[in-house]
């Protein structure tokens, strides 16, 4: 099963040198909560989680159904609705939790379907806050070299920590694990709105998101599911080199979710973060 994630545009990494401007807007955490989505005379309830994750409740459990993001006054999300891929292009009205826009259907060539509106189930439970956002560096997308190297990964639900090394050939492995002789390894890649997540793809992508997978069949005996770590690059850093004072922009922090059974019936119940691990 493949999921289409969007709201990012593929681009080479670049720094925008325009003078920064400041504007106040709703912080991303303001949107976390349960929402009514109304379209075509029908109404459904979805649950927006941190790190851009969307759940939809059924009789027995909550299912992962899509991904969301907000930029300025735009609210973007996609849903798998009865095996139909839908993209929602919404506008945030006057820095409030009132959103309306257009719905498109289709995976590779989306077409306009109808309009939609969305509003919170319980607006009083939303943690409303505003941020002064600097309009700068809007086109900085990571390439493969920006994320290779050693990382510390912690599952914030189990508190297990792993030291990983991400390689240029789109593989990764654990280093000096704290939990006996168990080792982890797998593939990785970046992704954005033009990509499906295809864990067998050999194409090297650019983007602001990353996935790392673990295959249970590949001699990793304690792994009982195919696992994918899906994260968003949320912080950049700089590495300085002695020769001619060269500087390189690196991704330095990633937040995301752990997806169990990615190719079957995916379930997300845990979150993780990754930070750069620098050694002398």
- DSSP string of 172-219, one letter each residue: EEE-S-SSTT---EEEEEEE-TT-B--TT--PPP-BSEEEEEE-TTTT
101, 200: one domain = no
Give domain status of residue 57, yes or no: yes
Looking at 134, 160, 180, the residue that finishes a domain is 134
197 close to 191: Cβ distance less than 8 angstroms? yes
Looking at 107, 134, 161, the residue that finishes a domain is 134
97, 159: one domain = no
CATH number, domain containing residue 117: 2.40.128.120
150, 269: one domain = yes
How many distinct structural domains can be found in the chain? 2
Question: What is the C-alpha separation between 34 and 118, in angstroms, rounded?
Answer: 10
170, 121: one domain = no
Domain that holds residue 197: 144-276
20: DSSP letter: P
Encode the chain (280 residues) as per-residue pLDDT tens digits. Answer: 333 332 322 232 333 333 444 467 888 889 999 999 999 999 999 999 887 888 887 766 677 788 888 888 899 998 876 777 888 999 999 889 999 999 988 766 678 889 999 999 998 888 888 877 654 444 456 788 888 989 989 888 888 888 899 999 999 998 865 555 567 888 999 887 555 677 777 778 888 889 999 876 654 544 566 788 988 888 776 554 444 444 456 777 888 888 887 766 777 878 899 988 876 5
235 close to 202: Cβ distance less than 8 angstroms? no
Angle at 271 between CA 193 and CA 269, to 5 degrees: 100
Q: What are phi and psi of 133, to 5 degrees?
A: -100, 125
102, 160: one domain = no
Q: What are phi and psi of 266, to 5 degrees?
A: -60, 140
């Amino acid at each position: 099963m493949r999921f289409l994630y969007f709201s990012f545009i593929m681009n080479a990494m670049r720094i925008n040198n325009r003078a920064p401007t400041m504007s106040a807007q709703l912080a991303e955490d303001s949107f976390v909560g349960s929402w009514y989505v109304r379209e075509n005379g029908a109404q459904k309830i979805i649950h927006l989680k941190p790190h851009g994750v969307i759940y939809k409740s059924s009789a027995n459990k909550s299912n992962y159904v899509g991904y969301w993001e907000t930029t300025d006054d735009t609210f973007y999300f996609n849903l798998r609705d009865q095996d139909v891929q839908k993209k929602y292009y919404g506008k945030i009205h006057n820095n409030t939790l009132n959103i309306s826009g257009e719905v498109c259907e289709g995976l590779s060539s989306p077409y306009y379907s109808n309009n939609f509106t969305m509003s919170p189930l319980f607006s009083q439970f939303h943690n409303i806050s505003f941020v002064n956002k600097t309009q700068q560096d809007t086109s900085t997308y990571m390439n493969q070299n920006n994320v290779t190297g050693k990382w510390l990964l912690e599952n914030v639900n189990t508190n297990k920590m792993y030291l990983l090394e991400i390689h240029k050939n789109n593989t990764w492995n654990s280093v000096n694990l704290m939990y006996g002789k168990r080792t982890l390894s797998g593939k990785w890649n970046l992704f954005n709105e033009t990509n499906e997540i295809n864990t067998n793809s050999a194409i090297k992508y650019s983007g602001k998101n990353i996935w790392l997978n673990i295959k249970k069949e590949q001699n990793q005996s304690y792994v009982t599911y195919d696992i994918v770590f899906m994260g968003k690059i949320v912080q950049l850093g700089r590495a300085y080199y002695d020769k001619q004072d060269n500087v390189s922009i690196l991704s330095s922090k990633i937040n995301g979710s752990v997806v169990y059974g990615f190719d079957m019936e995916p379930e997300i119940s845990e979150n993780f973060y990754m930070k750069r691990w620098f050694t002398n």
